[in-house]
Amino acid sequence: MSLTDDLYRETILDHYHQPRNQGELANATVKIEGVNPLCGDEITLYFNVDDKTLSDVKINSHGCSINTASGSIMTECVKGQSLDNVKEVVDTFKSMMLTKDDDTELPEEMEDLECLRGVKKYPVRIKCALLPWNTLQQGLERLQSGKTSSSDQYVEK
């Protein structure tokens, strides 16, 4: 185990034990559940969109450390961002996690996500890391198509 691996593990545990932006948003523009049956991760994501900006976001995580940490860091990366920026952040992270031998460079404001790159060594855990991101993406797509409902759910397959 190298020093950087230790640092990455510390970042994951920090976000796991003190997840940022945890909770619920009353009257959220979008509320959507995310489920990863492979691990048992369950999240509920709430976010508000005002003037093409993701003005607020909260997440309720009941999952493993990787899932909770990934969701916590995600909220920090997307909160207050324009929807265009949010899309870019989501695309960058997903390409880092899904491209084999990727050389994705993370911009400074996303550097906390570096700790999740090592998760790629464990393919079954990649879905744990991706669940919050795929759930956010699904929520944004439903919002754009005007098809949001209070029972919206995204399930990893």
Residues that bind Zn ion (CB under 5 A): 39, 41, 64, 67, 128
Q: Edge-to-edge, what's the strand order for the sheet holding 41-50?
A: 53-62, 41-50, 30-36, 153-155
| Token pair belonging to 133 | 């991101």
Closest CB to Zn ion among residues 3, 124: 124
If the CB atoms of residues 110 and 131 are measured against Zn ion, the closer one turns out to be 131
Nearer to Zn ion, 89 or 129 (CB): 129
Residue 152: CB minimum distance to Zn ion, A:
21
Smallest separation (angstroms) from Zn ion to the CB of 67: 4
Q: How far is the CB of 63 from Zn ion (least distance, A)?
A: 5
The minimum distance between CB 129 and Zn ion, in angstroms, equals: 8
Of residues 64 and 116, the one with the C-beta less far from Zn ion? 64
